[in-house]
Amino acid sequence: MGARETADYIAALVERGARCKGLPANLAPADRKQAYAVQALLEARSAQPLHGWKIAATSLAGQKHIGVDGPLAGRYIAERVVASGGTVPFGSNHMKVAEVEFGFRFARDMAPRSAPYGESEVLEAVASLHPMIEIPDSRYDRFEIVGAPALIADNACAHWLVEGEAMPESWRGKDLRTFQPVGRVTGQPEVIGLGSNVLGSPVTALTWLVNELSALGITLRKGQIVSTGTCLVPMAIKPGDQIEGDFGELGSVSVSLT
């Protein structure tokens, strides 16, 4: 597999709003390391610094659904991030769902090292917490059967990220495991989520991401944000919908689909 050829192939699908059954055999990464190399080349196509990271498959149900045995990391380029209250084109979105998530922005670099980072150490490096909406998509007709390396190479289904304003600092005194964000989509019953749906805790998921990057020799940079995975069952969406993630006293985030 040539990582550049694979990245070119996936980037062309993104640009055309097209999909494929799966990567051709000569382009398919053999393992997670090769797949992350493809991601790095997709990131390099952006004219701006990397905005942040996402974590996919943070629930056992989600992992089972796509046939993987653990979470996957993806990258969010700045061109695919909008502020709360903005609009996102629905386009040819294949997955047709929205997710409500916690996003952690970092106050300092987290450099690779041999010893794993602990949760308290990771939390100390966080500058702010944000309400997020992720609108994922896949470049595969059936993303649930292609396997972890192919999903990682496709940037772990990264597509659009909607970022809310920083939450009040009172979030640090709350148990995010028991927090219940609410998701709303036009004309649908609201969906109540739970922080523990994300690897048991959004902080656990965040720590996993930091250590995943560390093992890959990647520095998580100051100012980057990490969206830690959906707290609720993904909500069906269509063009024209208004989507809201309500975090109660900690704030909210919204986006309109065109």
Which of 27-41, 58-72, 235-249 is predicted with the least confidence, judged by mean pLDDT? 58-72
Based on DSSP, count helices (H) and strands (E) in the chain, helices before strands. 6, 13
pLDDT at 233 (0 to 100):
96
Q: Are 197 and 71 in contact (CB under 8 A)?
A: no
* Pairing verdict, β 235-236 and 97-106: antiparallel
Dist. CA 36–CA 24, nearest whole Å: 17
- φ, ψ of residue 84 in degrees (nearest 5): -55, 140
Dist. CA 209–CA 204, nearest whole Å: 9
pLDDT at 61 (0 to 100):
83
pLDDT at 242 (0 to 100):
98
**Is the predicted pLDDT of residue 30 greater than 90, yes or no?**
yes
220 DSSP β-pair partners = 110
Dist. CA 216–CA 247, nearest whole Å: 33
Residue 92: which pLDDT band, with cuts at 50, 70 and 90? very high
Number of domains in the chain: 1
**Is the predicted pLDDT of residue 232 greater than 80, yes or no?**
yes
244 contact partners, CB below 8 Å, separation of at least 6: 183, 184, 185, 252, 253, 254
**Is the predicted pLDDT of residue 181 greater than 90, yes or no?**
yes
Give tens-digit pLDDT for 131-154. Answer: 999 999 999 999 999 999 999 999
Handedness of CA 115, 118, 124, 128 (dihedral sign): positive
* Pairing verdict, β 160-163 and 182-185: unpaired
pLDDT at 59 (0 to 100):
85
CATH number of the domain at 135, please.
3.90.850.10
- Angle formed by the axes of helices 3-16 and 32-43, to 10°? 60
Output the six-digit token pair for 249.
């006293």
**Is the predicted pLDDT of residue 165 greater than 80, yes or no?**
yes
pLDDT at 62 (0 to 100):
87
Considering just the CA atoms, what is the radius of gyration of the chain in Å?
A: 17
The parent domain of residue 58 ranges over 3-257
Mean pLDDT of the chain: 97
What value does the mean pLDDT take over residues 153-181?
98
Dist. CA 198–CA 180, nearest whole Å: 12
C-alpha to C-alpha distances, 121 to 153, 203, 222, 237, nearest whole angstrom? 29, 11, 15, 37
Question: How many C-beta atoms lie closer than 10 Å to residue 34's C-beta?
Answer: 17
**Is the predicted pLDDT of residue 237 greater than 90, yes or no?**
yes
Residue 13: which pLDDT band, with cuts at 50, 70 and 90? very high
Secondary structure letter of residue 165 according to DSSP: P
Share of the chain above pLDDT 90, in %: 96
What value does the mean pLDDT take over residues 169-175?
98
pLDDT at 55 (0 to 100):
98
What value does the mean pLDDT take over residues 80-108?
98
What value does the mean pLDDT take over residues 75-83?
98
